[in-house]
Structure 1
């Protein structure tokens, strides 16, 4: 037991170069972050004034029911913001073969040098702009960044709507998470029209949750509240997944506790775009 504890300590506190010898995760160059898989039948359709959003950390498709649950959620949604995709097995096959969807895949890193993983924005409508935002801070030991993915869509009235999907940096101090959130906020300040900012914020402490709420509330965002049981994924009693919105009317929202295709429960919300 003592030898095991010593081995674990060595692994945890090894220098980054030693850790990278054991945990080889390739980070793509800026021009290799984004892949787009196009399957849309309509290439100029505007995003609807009423829409349904799903947010889901998909756990790299490790659960047996992932694909069945994914198809059900996608059928119900105009747009799905997914975290933790993996270019492996059934998940890779499905994400590389869109079914009347536009699938945007943003790679954070290539796990073990073989399988891309990151965030994906999947919509039934075409984007007019795609912007990946790679975190300037990296997770300890494996030294990998995390991504936020912004995608914009044309509205019927000529404006645009922006969706930003975050998988936040984990196992870091509050100030590092704050840097990543502020990076996204700085991008949001360059946009016009309604905005949804959602995903896995990895808010694993009450101080991180408070920090997130303070920043986004000060930027005019509202936090989605859910009807029914709120059984979102928790770490040390702290909820990790959130939907924030600005310049939209929330119609309804729920946590899909019935879905078993990941360790995270999907979040779903319906919105209406106010008439100016």
Structure 2
């Protein structure tokens, strides 16, 4: 093989990779929210708003599922998700791929979905997904680019009315993972904390934080200290751990009463789910007209 071909070969491989990347993945200019109802997907801009949202809790009880569902790559994701959402008023999913099967499942179970369109793979959107039985007041998309992979990780900031007249702010996050240092990790968290600093009332911050190092744990805790949240403690803790022994998934809360939390084992994803039960404070306060 002559020198000309030796030079052309790596260039050709790079060009092939770039073309393949563009064929497979589509990246929006900014994170966008898709609203999912009755099997229909309505895309919007960065934020979705509703003036007719109903309280997310049920008589002062708020049961929450937090789970990275691994793009529904395991064959039993459907049956496991069906079991895990039973009795829940809110489900916060990471790595949700809006396949026809997931879309039909959302419709059949009469959920309202808010998904961040972080990117599309073969025209199928992927990103964090909130499920509730009614719309949120507000849902906004946040993305942060993975510097090594060139694909965004996503987070969703949403607010929901409560039966005690308060507003619940919820952050569902899938944190950036493959980085050298913590600059991108810090930036993603800071953007969400800045939003939460303006919120008066209960807060839940949950998801896959990719907190696999002491440096990342330190950044995460320092950022969240600013909003006065407490980390959930578990009766049963089988949260997925990195090889360092550090858990990747977390739930933090403020101005709610923690009743129970556990992380059971499943083989339906590469992450074990988290199930948390809260009770509202001052639930005897009537919701204003």
Aligned counterparts of 1:162 and 1:218: Cα–Cα separation in 2: 15
Count of residue pairs brought into register by the alignment: 255
Aligned counterparts of 2:137 and 2:162: Cα–Cα separation in 1: 10
Aligned counterparts of 2:84 and 2:153: Cα–Cα separation in 1: 24
Q: Is structure 2 residue 202 aligned with structure 1 residue 200?
A: no
| Counterpart in the other structure of 1:120 | 129
Q: Is structure 2 residue 224 aligned with structure 1 residue 216?
A: yes
In structure 2, runs of 5+ residues without a counterpart are 1-9, 40-51
| Counterpart in the other structure of 1:170 | 177
Aligned counterparts of 1:69 and 1:174: Cα–Cα separation in 2: 34
Match of 2:151 among 121, 124, 144: 144
Aligned counterparts of 2:53 and 2:156: Cα–Cα separation in 1: 21
Match of 1:71 among 82, 87, 96: 82
Contact 1:164–1:197 under 8 Å retained in 2: yes
| Counterpart in the other structure of 1:5 | none
**3-state SS of paired residue (2:200):** coil
Counterparts of 1:169-188 in structure 2, within 5 Å, are: 169-172=176-179, 173-188=181-196
| Counterpart in the other structure of 2:64 | 53
| Counterpart in the other structure of 1:37 | 36
**Distance change (3 Å), C-alpha of 1:155 and 1:89:** closer
Aligned counterparts of 1:39 and 1:99: Cα–Cα separation in 2: 9
In structure 1, runs of 5+ residues without a counterpart are 1-9
Taking structure 1 as the reference length, what is the TM-score of the superposition?
0.84
Match of 2:167 among 160, 163, 169: 160
Contact 1:54–1:268 under 8 Å retained in 2: yes
Report the aligned-residue RMSD. 2.4
Taking structure 2 as the reference length, what is the TM-score of the superposition?
0.81
Q: Is structure 2 residue 44 aligned with structure 1 residue 26?
A: no
